[in-house]
Amino acid sequence: HKKPKILILGAGYGGMMTASRLLKSSVYQDAEITLVNKHNYHYQTTWLHEPAAGTLHHDRTRMRIDSVIDMNKINFIKDEVKEIKTDEKKVILESGELDYDYLVIGLGSEPETFGIPGVEEHAFAIRSVNSVRLIREHIEYMFANYNNEVEKHDEYLRFIVAGAGFTGIEFVGELSERIPELCEEYDIDRDKVRVYSVEAAPTALPGFDEELVNYAMNLLESRGVEFRINTPIKEVKEDGVLLNDGEEIKASTVVWTTGVKGNSVLDKSGFETMRGRIKVEKDLRAPGFDNVFVIGDCALIINEEINRPYPPTAQIAIQQAYTCSNNIKALLSGSEKLEHFTPDIKGTVASLGGKEAIGLVGTKKLYGQSASAVKKMIDNRYLFLLGGMPLVLKKGKLNIF
Ligand code: FAD
């Protein structure tokens, strides 16, 4: 009697937590579990704005997978997923292929460019350890270059962040904290540096509480951030952006944070998607498949109260991992009664750099240092769920206040 094979694609919030739950519930004794990920480390995507701006070293946002997942109980394969062949129950990797009885897709997201020309060629993305390390190095290189050229290039010191959603605002917050340090280090007047937050919608942080949005904008403006709201970008060029109204802003650094779509592997594999995401059934399975689960940013779930999709978050990815692992366990034990997933949104907190943040927890609004403390506790809680107190002590944000 061969053990059924469970294959988990992606070791992000969803994939890691699924693997961890399957370990904790002893499912590994009755099944052969394999986790595939591009890198041999797991990183916390929600922290990436910090290493991108250079306010936190990128090693603080990542950990080796074998330091948290017992490799005697779960197979780990470091490889890139290229395609899923559901009709053959097979996954094609860059170097090899794997078959499965149960599949969990947790491959995360990709930047949404809306087809705007030049984004892929000229803009940076906050997406992975590799992509944010490049942003940090590029920013420093621009500062280092400025004083070393006879003809001064003001565009070296101009930074455009496209999109003032959560990621864009969090990054602008970190960047505005880092710039005074960079100015000091590279002998540059603060006045020479310009940071633009450009947003197509009529407000920053669309959909968020107005008072909190105002607090964030005032704070960031006081640190020198210039908001361009209601300002769609028409094109990204090598030397800046062209706005819809014809104006050009010259800048050597454009960071693109206008939202995400699901991993393109899903489209390539023939799944029906909306913005690259699979609209999953209540039990988190892909429609028409009884053995394929989709979680995290690859999954689309509808908030029935407003009849609109939930924005993809780590919070939801983690909760889905619990439901997904319970449902796999149920299927293995022959039960057809699967759990339905309902997100339990505890709140939303956005950091603004330094000891500043804004947040909505239940109906309570949080500002400043207390919001920032809650944010750090959220980050630590995840580490606790994944690896207990030892992981919190090793990788956590212990300097809470
Ligand atoms: P991820 O955690 O992104 O993991 C996907 C994994 O799959 C990665 O390890 C990746 O390397 C791997 N992978 C991708 N493609 C392949 C492939 N082809 N082959 C093999 N491996 C692959 N959410 C919140 O809830 N709260 C927040 O405060 C918050 N802040 C954020 C701040 C920033 C700057 C960003 C960028 C996002 C933030 N989010 C936040 C959103 C959150 O990060 C995502 O919703 C969450 O990471 C989704 O989890 P996931 O498991 O689907 O994917």
Q: Which two tokens stand for residue 173?
A: 């917050």
Multiple choice CATH, 115-258+346-401, 3.40.50.920, 3.50.50.100, 3.40.47.10, 3.60.20.10: 3.50.50.100
The number of the ligand 1 atom at minimal distance from the alpha carbon of 127 is 36
Report the DSSP pairing between strands 158-162 and 253-256.
Answer: parallel
**How far is Cα of residue 269 from the mean position of the Cα atoms in its chain?**
22
Instruction: For ligand 1, atom 12, name the residue with the nearest CA.
Output: 10
- Cα dihedral value 62, 63, 68, 70, nearest 10: 120
Active site residues: 170
CA of 376 to the centre of ligand 1 (A): 18
Radius of gyration from C-alpha coordinates of the chain? 22
CA of 386 to the centre of ligand 1 (A): 15
Per-residue pLDDT of the chain (401 residues; tens, 9 = 90+): 789 999 999 999 999 999 999 999 999 999 999 999 999 999 999 999 999 999 999 999 999 999 999 999 999 999 999 999 999 999 999 999 999 999 999 999 999 999 999 999 999 999 999 999 999 999 999 999 999 999 999 999 999 999 999 999 999 999 999 999 999 999 999 999 999 999 999 999 998 999 999 999 999 999 999 999 999 999 999 999 999 999 999 999 999 999 999 999 999 999 999 999 999 999 999 999 999 999 999 999 999 999 999 999 999 999 999 999 999 999 999 998 999 999 999 999 999 999 999 999 989 999 999 999 999 999 999 999 999 999 999 999 998 87
Q: Which of 359, 339, 340 is nearest to 348 (CA)?
A: 359
**Domain ranges, ordered by start, for the chain:** 5-38+79-111+260-344, 115-258+346-401
The number of the ligand 1 atom at minimal distance from the alpha carbon of 16 is 51
Which residue type is seen at 365? K
Q: What whole-number distance in Å separates Cα of residue 267 and Cα of residue 392?
A: 37
Q: Which of 28, 55, 226 is nearest to 132 (CA)?
A: 55
Residue 106 in contact with ligand 1 by CB distance below 6 A: yes
Q: What whole-number distance in Å separates Cα of residue 166 and Cα of residue 215?
A: 14
**H-assigned helices in 189-308:** 210-222, 264-268
- Using alpha carbons, list the distances in angstroms from residue 253 to 18, 351, 392: 37, 22, 34
Handedness of CA 312, 113, 61, 73 (dihedral sign): positive
ipTM over 0.85: yes
Residue 45 in contact with ligand 1 by CB distance below 6 A: yes
Q: Which of 49, 38, 50 is nearest to 12 (CA)?
A: 38
- Residue range 5-38+79-111+260-344 in CATH 3.20.20.80: no
The number of the ligand 1 atom at minimal distance from the alpha carbon of 296 is 52
CA of 262 to the centre of ligand 1 (A): 10
Q: Same CATH fold, 115-258+346-401 and 5-38+79-111+260-344?
A: yes
Instruction: For ligand 1, atom 35, name the residue with the nearest CA.
Output: 46
Compute the C-alpha angle 54/13/51, nearest 5°: 0
Residue 12 in contact with ligand 1 by CB distance below 6 A: yes
